[in-house]
Amino acid sequence: MSVVGTLPPLAARTAHTEPRVVRYALVGAALLFLGAFLVVPLAAVFIEALKAGLTAYLAAIREPDAWAALKLSGFVTGCAVAFNLVFGLAASWAIAKFTFRGKNLLLALIDVPLAVSPVVSGLVFVLLFGRQGWLGPWLASHDLKVIFAVPGIVLATLFVTFPLIAREVLPVMQAAGTEEEEAAHLLGASGWQIFFRVTLPNVKWGVIYGVMLCAARAMGEFGAVSVVSGHVRGLTNTLPLHIEILYNEYRFPAAFAVASVLTLLAVATLGARSAIEAFARRRETTGSIRATERI
Amino acid sequence: MSIEIRDIQRTIGGFAALRGVSLAVETGELVALVGPSGSGKTSLLRIIAGLDQPDAGSIHLSGEDASARHVRDRRVGFVFQHYALFKHMTVAQNVAFGLTVRPRAERPPAKEIRERVTALLSLVQLEYLAERYPSQLSGGQRQRVALARALAVEPRVLLLDEPFGSLDAAVRIELRRWLRRLHDDLHVTSVFVTHDQEEAFEVADRIVVMNQGLIEQIGTPQEVFDHPATPFVMSFLGTTNIFHGRIQGGKAHLGRFTVDVAGRGEARGAPPQAEAYAAGYVRPHELEVATEASAAGGLWTTLERANVAGTFVKLELLDEDGRSLHAHVSREVYGALAASEGDRLYVTPRTVRIFPGEEPVSPERP
């Protein structure tokens, strides 16, 4: 009995055999890298943005072109999230729950946008819809504009963010298996009832993460959008493109002011993700506390 | 409601899971499908439920062909081995699910659903857990919730796929006795799958022994245990000693001893032909163990090991050809033998089941 009693502390001690110096050195190194590559640049953005004073900062953000860019970015992000949400759920549902021919091909195809350089993705759309492109003459004869217009920007963003939600949802859905769906089916649920009441709640964290990831990427996308946008101020400039224009015109405070807005949006997205996670964890733990109280 | 299974065949990915299975389950009966893994028992259960379609054959529920009926309309209750409870719903929501998904016109009012859920939870003795989530329950509690959920839609047939397979031994024994009592109260036609013959013996009215996609034998627990139809059933339903030999002139010569086929042995199948191969199967408790040779005809063995910890003593013996034998004797008999490891003991079979002309099989034990 006494032997059993001494075992746990022994095991606990062996888990921390590294000398204190090594531990501190490792933690210190990690913090140093984090500081140099993340905190300092982020801080620099805000310092540069506010260098010319708060009035100049607000003026730079309130400028009509900047405001238009912000609205366009918001619209494009909304489109990307909505489309990829539907596609991501449909694709992961198909891959996780059914066996069919070409399943592996579909899986590989979903990943293509991750592998292809964004600039190439943009060029593909110019090739397809540009004036000299395959569908260019047809579009021109019907007075439709895709390249150097909003539809092109939306298409390029969709292409680039295509895998993000599907990739987040798929593993969660595969892990959930099909038994709960079968059980729901046997209990008389219809296909849509199964989807909304069993499948979707099981993958909701995957969906939420995927949406955040997709939104962040859609807001910040530069390469592909830059190729198809045409940089028409107030019309086809998204936030990242607007920042680049301001920077190239040596209007550094304005460039950094707009950059700070984009950064804030990204940080807010990440913050929302962490908040949701923390909320979920708290609910789970209070759930189990409540449960133990009842025993 | 009765279930009639007619000549079901199913090949899954090139593997013949079911090779022509026919079975009739009477209304209110509790039938166990037993067999080693890969014998087709779960495939058959899934086909009855409508979760899988047979390649050939048909399922008749209450005399009506169910093949054309949608899973939703079959009114089959199904209990999964791994519970398949809805993780994000409370116990009460899980049980209510089958009622709340009904079309508005058929759905009972909310109050009635609540009452029904409470009644079902008290049936499975879990009312106090109604607001918990499945992750907060033990395995046995989860399986009882799964059962309550399946019963909520008033199924005409209850199908259970290894319902106690993921539970530990003590819970398992308690829960299967409880299931038997529940069945005696509700009398809903039930089919349950298990690879544990003990479980089948204890719970089922009738046992269906399956092997390699075919039914080997159907019968009451006693029938299949005492009168196994095939060597497979004999070996699957418990430990067996196999003696190989030949049949000659009405007598089976099984190695070092001879059995009168007409008299003491229990011969089955075709009448033994002269010089035919035969195998004798003897259960461990059917071996008589003594210190002196008897007139009945037996063989000398050496005691290898005696496992005394149990309601009876399990002896591991080695015959003169180096084959091992298992014998179970009462503690009293073992005491009277006063044998220790390495001693010579004389073993005489009381009952030998002889299966002529069939090569012995050793089924894969789970």
Residue among A197, A205, A155, A156 at smallest CA distance from A180: A197
Of A182, A190, A201, the CB nearest to B88: A201
Distance CA B258, CA B254 (A): 6
Instruction: Identify the burial level of B190 via C-beta atoms within 10 angstroms of its C-beta, where 0-12 means exposed, 13-18 middle and 19 or more buried.
Output: buried
pLDDT, tens digit, for every residue of A245-264? 888 888 888 888 888 888 88
Residue B174: the pLDDT is: 87
Buried/exposed B91-105: b ≥16 CB within 10 Å, e otherwise = bbbbbbbbbbbbeee
Residue B358: the pLDDT is: 55
Distance CA B327, CA B308 (A): 12
Residue B23: the pLDDT is: 92
Average pLDDT of chain B? 85
Chain B residues in contact with A197 by the CB 8 A cut-off are 86, 97, 101
Decide: B306 and B313 in contact? Cβ < 8 Å.
yes
Chain B residues in contact with A295 by the CB 8 A cut-off are none
Residue A286: the pLDDT is: 53
Residue B137: the pLDDT is: 92
Distance (Å) of CA A157 to CA A1, A76, A130, A219 = 66, 7, 17, 9
Residue A29: the pLDDT is: 94
Q: Please give the CATH number for the structural domain made up of B240-356.
A: 2.40.50.140
Decide: B201 and B221 in contact? Cβ < 8 Å.
yes
Q: Is B132 on the interface with A (CB under 8 A)?
A: yes
Decide: B139 and B171 in contact? Cβ < 8 Å.
yes
State the average pLDDT over residues B156-165.
90
* Closest CA in chain B for residue A99: B13
The answer to whether the CB atoms of B101 and A188 lie below 8 A apart is: yes
Domain residue spans of chain B: 3-231, 240-356
| Topology of domain B3-231, CATH | Rossmann fold (3.40.50)
Pairing label, strands B206-211, B214-219 = antiparallel
Of A189, A291, A294, the CB nearest to B101: A189
Q: Which residues contact B186 (CB under 8 A, 6 or more apart)?
A: B151
pLDDT exceeds 50 at position B68: yes
The answer to whether the CB atoms of A288 and B149 lie below 8 A apart is: no
Q: Tell me the pTM.
A: 0.78
Q: Is A200 on the interface with B (CB under 8 A)?
A: no
Percent of chain B with pLDDT strictly greater than 90: 32
pLDDT exceeds 90 at position B70: no
pLDDT, tens digit, for every residue of B162-203? 988 888 888 888 888 888 988 988 889 999 999 888 889 989
Q: CA angle, corner B114, sides to B111 and B118, nearest 5?
A: 140
Percent of chain A with pLDDT strictly greater than 90: 17
Residue among B297, B316, B306 at smallest CA distance from B339: B306
Average pLDDT of chain A? 83
| CB pairs A-B closer than 8 Å | 68
pLDDT exceeds 90 at position A7: no
| A125 band by pLDDT with thresholds 50, 70 and 90 | confident
Q: Is B354 helix (H, G, I), strand (E, B) or coil?
A: strand
ipTM above 0.85, yes or no: no
* Closest CA in chain B for residue A182: B51
The answer to whether the CB atoms of A187 and B101 lie below 8 A apart is: yes
pLDDT exceeds 70 at position B1: yes
State the average pLDDT over residues B348-362.
71
Residue A11: the pLDDT is: 47
Of B80, B88, B97, the CB nearest to A187: B97
pLDDT, tens digit, for every residue of A9-36? 544 555 567 788 888 999 999 999 999 9
Tokens standing for residue A259: 């950059």
pLDDT, tens digit, for every residue of B103-149? 888 889 999 999 999 999 998 889 899 999 999 999 889 999 999 99
* Closest CA in chain B for residue A191: B72
The answer to whether the CB atoms of A184 and B149 lie below 8 A apart is: no
